[in-house]
Amino acid sequence: MTDFRNKVVYQIYPKSFKDSDGDGVGDLRGIIEKLDYLAELGVDYLWITPFFLSPQKDNGYDVADYTAIDPRFGSMEDFEELVNAAGKRGLKIMLDMVLCHTSDQHLWFQKALGGDETYRRYYILRDGRNKKGPEDPGEPPTNWQCAFGGSAWQWEPRLGKWYLHLHDVSQPDLDWTNPRVREELAGVVRFWKERGVAGFRFDVINLISKPERFEDDTEGLGRRLFADGPHVHEYLRELVASAGLEGMVTVGEMASTDLENCLLYTRPDAHELSMVFNFHHLKVDYRDGDKWALMEPDIMELKRLFAAWQTGMAEGGGWNALFWCNHDQPRIVSRFGDEKTYRKESAKMLAACIHLMRGTPYIYQGEEIGMTNPGYTSIDQYRDVESLNHYQILLDKGKTEGEALEILSVRSRDNGRTPMQWSEEPHGGFSEAEPWIPVAANFAEVNVASDLGEKDSIFSFYRELIRIRKEMPIVAEGGIWFLEEENPDVLAYERRWNNESLIVLCNFRRQYARLIKGCVSDYEKDGYRKRIGNYQGTGAGLRPYEVIVYHKVG
């Protein structure tokens, strides 16, 4: 059995997980304090988002030194202790490698600014268009937009060129056509591998290979031109070989990707990655594809996307990462569930829905206790560069402050970045000091201590899902077929393996829902037994946000 199929990954955003030294910012020693909690949940890998030296313009995804730990998070000794203490509990560490760009504070960019030709060649520098003279910067080389709003090009007089930044202006993109850049980055990965890291997540890794020719995107903002670029597969295979990644668990974050490329990234014979994140299923509430235009989630579209990706990856021999939440996404109970009346029910339904699909599930800190969006009402509460930029863009487009704040309260990445709610103590037990970002107001009701205190806790439901994956090979190994495809309310699928069958029925609505097939309890007449669910007993249909999982052998 391939090593990652029956594993579960837990994502830690260290800044908001646990503060051990009372400065309002989470840290590595805070993670060490909570290892018993994570072992109790039963996860296998801890993916820790970047804690490297960084000016924190993009919360650590702007790396100034790949092999140094930012003192606000701790020291190399703390990291070694974390690896050892985790290992003693059967937990392995995965690190986040941000290899598409550096911070503008990185020594390489600083040397480029100083005129060093070797380092100028590490970045993507171009002349402007329509220059009126040698001193005139002209206009940006292409019309490409960066992910956080505005042009993807910045004029830099010290370089005498425009540099490309697909993210924040402080995150210049590296030039992967330069073999020296690729060798440096492989060295970074080796550095961490040698320190006991068991796996890696590669940030926006399908954006590393830019198109051969830089031209305007006549249909959009440029992304379709630089996602899954011409040499991306070749570069990944080279990285795997030169950093010695074969046999390690690796996951690539793939922006605006497609199924065909994801098969190439993850088929075992491709020797690229173990699995990939794609985001199509998290855009079904974007109106006309616009993240900043609100819409109720389109559940039929969600069902279509899961069916296409799950069956497509299975048929082509690829492997998915399964997830709803991460540090870039709002909380899933607030989004596809009901954070008020059915918080527990919908949190559990959403968990079972993806954990029993074909792929490796990821749990994002706080998801296992049903944490919600914080519902911020003032721009002062936001920290994220993307949110702050888009707030201004929304105002410039004529939205009122109230309208812009409402959009942010649904869409901002900060919704997923609020401090972990450990207890009803001040600041949710996250820190003794005022946290770097405000805690959600509901911390006194929604927290680890109160959830664990309940018999049917969300935490224990997650733990049971993890146990099911370990005990029942059908979850990791089985094929997948979608059911009830025309049903507007219920997402349903069957897993099959040898002579076993597992049926998962999920009601995505606040109302009672029926199956097209007939009564839910008919499965029992067919010899199925309920394995797990979020309500007692079974009925003719599904209660609000009900999930039922049936199992049959033979």
282-295: b (≥16 Cβ within 10 Å) or e: bbbbbeeeeebeee
> Which residues from 267-296 bind ligand GLC, rule CB under 6 A?
none
The answer for residues whose C-beta is within 8 angstroms of residue 453's C-beta and 6 or more apart is none
61 or 461, CB closer to ligand GLC?
Answer: 61
Q: For residues 260 and 67, give the distance between their C-alpha atoms in angstroms, rounded to a whole number.
A: 34
346 or 373, CB closer to ligand GLC?
Answer: 373
Query: Cβ 56 to ligand GLC, closest distance in Å?
Result: 12
204 or 299, CB closer to ligand GLC?
Answer: 204
DSSP state of 380: G
Paired tokens of 8: 């579960």
Query: Cβ 253 to ligand GLC, closest distance in Å?
Result: 6
Q: For residue 230, give the 3-state DSSP assignment.
A: coil
Interaction of residue 382 with ligand GLC, rule CB under 6 A? no
> Which residues from 62-101 bind ligand GLC, rule CB under 6 A?
98
**From the candidates 44, 62, 96, 253, which is the catalytic residue?**
253
The answer for residues whose C-beta is within 8 angstroms of residue 281's C-beta and 6 or more apart is 302, 305, 306, 309
328 or 524, CB closer to ligand GLC?
Answer: 328
Paired tokens of 239: 């990285």
User: Is residue 253 among the annotated active site residues?
Assistant: yes
Are 45 and 94 within 8 A, CB to CB? yes
Interaction of residue 61 with ligand GLC, rule CB under 6 A? yes
DSSP state of 409: H
Interaction of residue 358 with ligand GLC, rule CB under 6 A? no
54 or 372, CB closer to ligand GLC?
Answer: 54
- Partnered with residue 548 across adjacent β-strands are 505, 533
Q: Which residue is nearest to ligand GLC (CB)?
A: 61
49 or 310, CB closer to ligand GLC?
Answer: 49
Residue 146 main-chain phi, psi, to 5 deg: -85, 165
**From the candidates 203, 368, 384, 489, which is the catalytic residue?**
203
Number of residues lying near ligand GLC (CB under 6 A): 9
99 or 480, CB closer to ligand GLC?
Answer: 99
Query: Cβ 418 to ligand GLC, closest distance in Å?
Result: 15
Q: For residues 203 and 378, give the distance between their C-alpha atoms in angstroms, rounded to a whole number.
A: 30
Paired tokens of 537: 């007993």
Paired tokens of 114: 């100083």
Are 497 and 552 within 8 A, CB to CB? no
Interaction of residue 58 with ligand GLC, rule CB under 6 A? yes
Are 359 and 313 within 8 A, CB to CB? yes
User: Is residue 345 among the annotated active site residues?
Assistant: no
Are 524 and 538 within 8 A, CB to CB? yes
Interaction of residue 258 with ligand GLC, rule CB under 6 A? no
Paired tokens of 141: 């080389």
Query: Cβ 328 to ligand GLC, closest distance in Å?
Result: 5
> Which residues from 300-329 bind ligand GLC, rule CB under 6 A?
327-328
Interaction of residue 203 with ligand GLC, rule CB under 6 A? yes
> Which residues from 328-347 bind ligand GLC, rule CB under 6 A?
328
Query: Cβ 12 to ligand GLC, closest distance in Å?
Result: 13
Residue 137 main-chain phi, psi, to 5 deg: -65, -25
Query: Cβ 166 to ligand GLC, closest distance in Å?
Result: 8
Reference 332, options 308, 367, 363; nearest CA is: 367
Out of 34, 72, 106, 167, name the contact with ligand GLC by CB under 6 A.
167
Query: Cβ 203 to ligand GLC, closest distance in Å?
Result: 5
Interaction of residue 204 with ligand GLC, rule CB under 6 A? yes
List, by residue number, the catalytic residues: 203, 253
The footprint of ligand GLC (CB under 6 A) covers: 58, 61, 98, 167, 203-204, 253, 327-328
